[in-house]
């Protein structure tokens, strides 16, 4: 978020608001720089040298190369991984007025520049209730594997109303049926799994949980189907991304949607600054006791 916000300092003409004649260039810059910043952050944190973008690679292949290129072991982005990442970024591009998108629109409505507005969206994703769903899935799977909990027991725990345990990756606040994005992610998950040459207990547990839930009347009657976060977390894991990068990848995918919302507001002839209404529900009158009487 800080690095995205700081980008405007490199372009003095954006000190206040993006000049209309430069907005397309600003959008292009941000789309490109976001993946470079993401890859650089990962490599810097792990003590790896920065990898320059390669102009002969596609957007997603370039990102994978900047992430995983090694001077020791030859690396070439797997076409299945490139396809999977491309589809997942598209699936995450927009999803109506979620927390981060609303933040982008609200900050943008003050006529802040695009970098500042997108930085606000990144900050909203910082919160685990919005940007932490993928990690929550992996945390659940890690718990099952490390504590050797049978998947059937996990299903029973999720069904027990008196148990505070919540099964991450199942059900959705908006969809009361199978998340249409999850259907595509599930197909992609199977494709990536087909080229995975190693045995991974996390993946085995995930597949068993999916199978049990899809056959369980409790889950079916309540429309608790695996959601996009369930499959996305597994795919990212199979592709070699550390869990700390999951929210960053979410932000990369959501970026085009944020930009679209920002531009929609920007080009609205009746644009006004965002001002959400607040309905006061406190006491109608409250007696104030003088300080000397307290």
Residue 216 a catalytic site member: no
Q: Per-residue pLDDT tens for 36-75? A: 999 999 999 999 999 999 999 999 999 999 999 988 888 8
By percentage, how much of the chain surpasses pLDDT 90?
55
Q: What is the mean pLDDT of residues 83-89?
A: 97
Whether pLDDT at 190 is above 70 = yes
* 237 labelled catalytic: no
Interval 76-97 mean pLDDT: 95
SS (H, E, C) the chain: CHHHHHHHHHCHHHCCCCCHHHHHHHHHHHHHHHHHHHHHHHHHHCCCCCCCCCCCCCHHHHHHHHHHCCCCCCCCCCHHHHHHHHHHHHHCCCCCCCHHHHHHHHHHCCCCCHHHHHHHHHHHHHCHHHHCHHHHHHHHHHHHHHCCCCHHHHHHHHHCCCCCCCCCCECCCCCCCCCHHHHHHHHHHHHHHHCCCCCCHHHHHHHHHHHHHHHCHHHHHCCCCECHHHHHHHHHHHHCCCHHHHHHHHHHHHHHHHHHHHHHHHCCCCCCCCCCCCCCCCCCCCCCCCHHHC
Q: Which CATH class is domain 133-239?
A: mainly alpha
**Catalytic member of 81, 229, 237, 261:** 229
Q: pTM of the full predicted structure?
A: 0.88
Q: Which of 69, 81, 172, 237 is catalytic?
A: 172
Q: What average pLDDT does the structure give for the chain? A: 90
């Amino acid at each position: 978020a800080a690095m995205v916000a700081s980008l405007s300092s490199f372009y003095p003409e954006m000190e206040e608001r993006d000049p209309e004649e430069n907005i397309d260039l600003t959008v292009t810059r941000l789309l490109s720089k976001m993946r470079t910043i993401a890859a650089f952050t990962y490599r810097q944190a792990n003590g790896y040298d920065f990898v320059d973008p390669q102009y002969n690679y596609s957007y997603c292949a370039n990102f994978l190369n900047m992430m995983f290129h090694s001077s020791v072991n030859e690396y070439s982005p797997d076409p299945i991984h490139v396809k999977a990442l491309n589809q997942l970024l598209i699936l995450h591009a927009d999803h109506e007025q979620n927390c981060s998108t609303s933040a982008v629109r609200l900050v943008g409505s003050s006529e802040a520049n695009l970098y500042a507005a997108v930085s606000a969206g990144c900050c909203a994703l910082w919160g685990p209730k919005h940007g932490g769903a993928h990690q929550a899935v992996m945390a659940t799977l890690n718990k099952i594997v490390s504590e050797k909990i049978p998947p059937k027991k996990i299903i029973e725990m999720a069904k027990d109303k008196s148990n505070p345990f919540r099964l991450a990756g199942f059900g959705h606040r908006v969809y009361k049926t199978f998340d249409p994005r999850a259907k595509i992610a599930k197909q992609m998950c199977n494709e990536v799994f087909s080229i995975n040459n190693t045995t991974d207990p996390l993946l085995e547990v995930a597949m068993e949980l999916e199978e049990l839930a899809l056959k369980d009347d409790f889950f079916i009657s309540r429309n608790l189907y695996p959601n996009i976060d369930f499959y996305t977390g597994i795919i990212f894991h199979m592709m070699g991304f550390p869990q700390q990068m999951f929210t960053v990848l979410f932000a990369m995918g959501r970026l085009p949607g944020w930009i679209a919302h920002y531009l929609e507001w920007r080009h609205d002839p009746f644009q006004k600054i965002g001002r959400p209404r607040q309905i006061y529900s406190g006491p109608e009158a409250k007696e104030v006791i003088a300080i000397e009487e307290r």
